[in-house]
Structure 1
Amino acid sequence: MSSGKWQELAKAKREQLQQGIPKEWTISPRSESNVLQIPGECGVLSSQELEITSLSDVSVLLRNIATAKWSSLEVTRAFCKRAAIAHQVTNCLTDAFFDSALKKAAELDDYLQRNGKVVGPLHGLPISLKDQFQVKGYPTPMGYTSWLDKVAEEDAVVVQILRESGAVIYVRTNVPQTLMWTETYNNVYGRTVNPFNTSLTPGGSSGGEAALLAMHGSILGLGTDIGGSSRLPAHFCGVYGFKPSYHRLPWYGAVNSLDGQESISTVVGPMSTSMSGLQIITKAILDAKPWRKDPQALRKPWDHEGYALSEHVGGKRLCFGIMWDDGTLKPHPPVLRALRQVKGALEAAGHSVIDWTPYKHGEIYDVTRAIWYADGGEDYEACLSPTGEPLINSMKPGADPHEVVAHRKPREPLSAYKLWQLHKQKRRLRKEHLDRWESTSSRTGTGRPIDALLCPVAPYVAVPHGQTRSAVYTMIWNALDYPALAIPVTKVDPSVDTVQSRERFFSPDDETLHKLYDPEIFKGVPVGIQLVTQPQEEEALLAMGQIVDDAIRKPSETCGL
């Protein structure tokens, strides 16, 4: 194939996406770095459409549709228009299914009017998808030019379930090439930027999804997560991101990088502007019995007792562990302040918080990376070679093509035997970590181990493009298969989050990270925290996430600032 073929394919796809946006929804170019206010100022949205899309609570929006306060057609059109605006200022979309979405919304309205009841728990709700979930009749390129002609013959299983539950599928969102980045840039669609500051990254690999949610171009969507791909972008963009345990939500029919690597499984990662959104979509998917469509999905229905926290004293006087750092990278001041704020809010609400000491994090990180890169880069090459598309080795704007960051440097592939040894090592580390968690029962004062663990999502907030480091604070929970949740807490305040001097560092990487912090660069950027529970405790995690969220947002709460 000619060397320019991949550029031609990418250009044609971008033009197709642009043509899918109605001219009356286009806006003039903007120069400001914070673009969050543009939907309300550009004149494209009516006052009702602004009211609809300004909602954050998914339960309220669903109730308004079910009671016919707003029709699904009105809601869907509003989110289609706002998604179009969001794309023009952040480059967050890969597909716009506007026409089919509006048609489906009208059909759902007709059903509600004729039958007096909703189709299902997600009736009339527009839901966005990361560009990994197949939609029948469309390719799912995932940022690869060689996949632009691979048209899906059917929806991914989770998309089938969403449709059966009454959801309206209207857009898909951007990802990084190969997915294995905590930023979002590829050769097909280009770079997605953070709406709080377009010179900063929205994270990855669900960066397009997070940017869309932050712009309120979506209220609920699906990302994915193998090492932090839903939680890191949620943290960078001030939304909620959820990583369940392996195989709890159906994966079949989604496309993937490193496909076939199942020791550390990629999972469906719901993302939303509210905790209610995460709970509603998770329950809706589980109530649909996904194990009847996906042979790897666990036969584990929604656990009502788990959500009622029956094993955690009904949510009264919980004991949380808190990990201030992982012993390899010390978090920046606003991240530590967010943890202090959450700790103070929980204690004011009657819960207790005890310190958690990190355990063998460095070893877990090394094992995880070795498993991911066991193929020596063959997966990437197989995806790129058909069109001659180059591998992106740096996320820096205008980077030298020969500049290769550490995790992109070529590695020798591992033999099957050596890979098995890594699997054994990971299994041992999982057992040791479980024992450590259980041992906290001697310190909690409740007679049981900590109910959940609080920790950073990352040691920093959204950074300039090309400046992210390894996702160590999230990937550990993928390796250990612990469900985890990113919850927004605050924003960077330079008057409070000042540079702190340090004389000792864990490593040269830790010192480099310390020097990266500049409170003026990160001014006003969201800061979140991560909440973690033991494997298969998704319902308990979501319930405790609501408790944490309520404590943070209690109007009178000011402690920990």
Structure 2
Amino acid sequence: MARNWKEIAAEKKQQRDAIVPKEWLLTNLPPPETLNVIDFPDKSGLLTERDIEITNSEVGLLLEKLAKGTWTAVEATNAFSKRAIVAHQLVNCLTEVFIDRALARATELDDHLKKTGKVVGPLHGLPISLKDQISIKGLESTMGYVSWIGQYAEKNSVLVDILEAAGAVLYVKTNIPQTLMWPETFNHIFGRTSNPYNRSLTSGGSSGGEGALIALRGSPLGVGSDIGGSIRIPAAFNSLYGLRPSYGRVPYAGCVNSLEGLASILSVLGPLCRSIDGIKSFIKAVVGQEPWLKDPMAVRKPWSENEYSLVGHGQGQNLCFAILWDDGVTKPHPPIIRVLGETQQALLAAGHKVIDWIPLKHEEIYRTGGKIWTAGAAEDFRVVAAISGEPVIGTMEVVSESTDTAPNDTPVFRPMPGGLSAYELWQEQKRRQGLREEYLDHWNATKDLTGTGRPVDAIISPCAPFVAPPHGKNSNASYTMVWNVLDYTALVVPVGFVNPTQDGKRAVEEFFNEQDRANYDLYDPETFKDAPISIQVVGRTLEEEAVIRLGEIVDQALKAQNK
């Protein structure tokens, strides 16, 4: 007789929990009604002063001290492992824990440095967390599917090989939504991940486990994936920097995924971090390993100092940014409008130009992307879920009635009954290509508006029409999806936090549509208290170096403005 899927899921969860050192389980956890737990790890009593110093350090300082031997790889791995377990007890962010394996690797790195005086690579000794779907030999990547429990990877994904060759230490994998196609984090095996700034709010998704873990400093840098915002939404909701590179810049081969076989608007891998220097260190290290020799879909593009120096953008002088105040579909909530205005003033004060960005066919771009992703009528998800008998999570059900254990969750989009024929899919892909061409022309035409002799250097955009919403209410990914459909590089930069005094609800008389009205009704400043507010810095296709530098300029301008 086949076992019930709930029993299998519970057993897997117990196996994960059994691996955690018992002495790291806390009895003084804050009660559920304590919503903001971002500072709890430092006060937990588990971490030593040295642990706290290490885990509160940014990537640049960590790499420097690890390279000098001031901190050993074993020390760093142990400190971040402990803090990751504390974070997990607060927000439920981990799926796989393999600390013993990580400490063995860290010992090898310390021995190498001691014997040779040289680091193994540019990420020597740096603990890095990974989204659950990134395969590591000998470990599971359930991706939230009960039927994938017990399937152990036979080899590493290409990125794992590259990170380990660069000296990184891998120690935990993080929670995701079943299917990966929802910007929140919930599945039937591991449950739901919460936001550490306000546990009544979502951590985002689909890299929501990464977002919550890094926000609590249980990881200095993590790797997520992004097909419609799955790096940028968790980064934005958890006050992190997060980069969505263009397709092929970071190798994807060897990861498990949904919608495998889809040939357009593909998922990409990218970093989430508490500092831009960590984003830069990750991209430089990865492309420095020549991933195009290991993944046939990786782009042959080494790191370019010229592009980072903004040679094609006036060497970074007299830049022109364009602000997307809204997409003509859904107006952002008051805190987001506030920080867009603050960003505008900061850039002007720094000597740059700022103009308004006129959205071109954003609703059509968004709907085209949704049609392409749901062309298979969720068969991909339903086939995998049916093996164990578990239901597909409610947000990816084709029908309106959900059998899910979280029936109040609202979807970004639902798969269409019947899906699309091959010919119909081709027409949507043709439409997408036409939209990309139109948007390129639209961007180039701004040359006549900037006063720099160049088109706009970057777009400043909201990350969503809201900050992190209550669990189950993340129903809009239009501000991130549009850049996936266009394959533009986008970097999230954190700006501030919701302040109910500053961010009161304002009367609005006209709405774009019912979705816009529903978004307005969702906002209550007390509900969103302490939620992080972020922006996106958007560049063109394969402009990772330039976008990182432009993001640094925006970040520096904002920090100078707030002194």
TM-score, normalised via structure 2 length = 0.96
Contact 1:202–1:233, Cα closer than 8 Å, also in 2: yes
Contact 2:240–2:272, Cα closer than 8 Å, also in 1: yes
Deviations 1:118-177 (A, max 9, x none): 000000000000011000001210000111122111110001000000000000000001
Contact 2:395–2:412, Cα closer than 8 Å, also in 1: no
Establish whether residue 51 from structure 1 lines up as the match of residue 50 from structure 2.
Answer: no
State the secondary structure of the residue aligned to 2:326: coil
| Alignment partner, residue 399 of structure 2 | none
Whole-angstrom distance in 2 between the partners of 1:146 and 1:538: 37
Q: CA distance change for structure 1 residues 493 and 385 in 2, over 3 Å: closer, same or farther?
A: same
Correspondences of 1:406-445 after superposition (within 5 Å): 407-408=413-414, 410-445=416-451
**In structure 1, what residue type is equivalent to 2:261?**
G
Correspondences of 1:115-514 after superposition (within 5 Å): 115-394=116-395, 401=407, 405=411, 407-408=413-414, 410-514=416-520
Q: CA distance change for structure 1 residues 494 and 61 in 2, over 3 Å: closer, same or farther?
A: same
Q: CA distance change for structure 1 residues 84 and 475 in 2, over 3 Å: closer, same or farther?
A: same
State the secondary structure of the residue aligned to 1:385: helix
| Alignment partner, residue 23 of structure 1 | 22
Deviations 1:175-221 (A, max 9, x none): 00111111100001000000011111000000000000100001101
Deviations 1:452-486 (A, max 9, x none): 00010001001110111120000000000001011
Whole-angstrom distance in 2 between the partners of 1:404 and 1:169: 34
Shift in Å, 1:5: 2.1
State the secondary structure of the residue aligned to 2:292: helix
**In structure 2, what residue type is equivalent to 1:429?**
L
Whole-angstrom distance in 2 between the partners of 1:409 and 1:271: 29
Shift in Å, 1:401: 4.7
Shift in Å, 1:375: 0.4
Deviations 1:328-384 (A, max 9, x none): 000000011111111111111111110011110111111110000000111011110
| Structure 1 gap segments, 5+ residues each | none
Contact 1:397–1:466, Cα closer than 8 Å, also in 2: no
Whole-angstrom distance in 2 between the partners of 1:478 and 1:405: 18
Contact 1:393–1:408, Cα closer than 8 Å, also in 2: no
Deviations 1:54-103 (A, max 9, x none): 12x21111001111111111111000000000001100000111001111
Whole-angstrom distance in 2 between the partners of 1:438 and 1:52: 46
Shift in Å, 1:546: 0.9
Q: Among the aligned pairs, what percent are the same residue?
A: 50
Q: CA distance change for structure 1 residues 114 and 219 in 2, over 3 Å: closer, same or farther?
A: same
| Alignment partner, residue 528 of structure 1 | 534
State the secondary structure of the residue aligned to 2:387: coil
**In structure 2, what residue type is equivalent to 1:260?**
G
Q: CA distance change for structure 1 residues 273 and 315 in 2, over 3 Å: closer, same or farther?
A: same
Runs of 4+ in 1 over 3 A off after TM superposition: 394-406
Shift in Å, 1:40: 1.2
Whole-angstrom distance in 2 between the partners of 1:397 and 1:76: 41
**In structure 1, what residue type is equivalent to 2:434?**
R
Whole-angstrom distance in 2 between the partners of 1:69 and 1:77: 15
Q: CA distance change for structure 1 residues 251 and 361 in 2, over 3 Å: closer, same or farther?
A: same
Aligned-residue RMSD, C-alpha: 1.6
| Alignment partner, residue 114 of structure 2 | 113
Whole-angstrom distance in 2 between the partners of 1:315 and 1:160: 35
State the secondary structure of the residue aligned to 1:311: helix
State the secondary structure of the residue aligned to 1:13: helix
**In structure 2, what residue type is equivalent to 1:14?**
K
Contact 1:323–1:357, Cα closer than 8 Å, also in 2: yes
Whole-angstrom distance in 2 between the partners of 1:37 and 1:280: 26
Shift in Å, 1:408: 3.1
Shift in Å, 1:24: 1.0
Contact 1:397–1:465, Cα closer than 8 Å, also in 2: no
State the secondary structure of the residue aligned to 1:505: coil
Establish whether residue 6 from structure 1 lines up as the match of residue 8 from structure 2.
Answer: no
Contact 2:369–2:485, Cα closer than 8 Å, also in 1: yes
Q: CA distance change for structure 1 residues 414 and 510 in 2, over 3 Å: closer, same or farther?
A: same
Match of 2:523 among 517, 521, 526: 517
| Structure 2 gap segments, 5+ residues each | 397-401
TM-score, normalised via structure 1 length = 0.97
Q: CA distance change for structure 1 residues 65 and 505 in 2, over 3 Å: closer, same or farther?
A: same
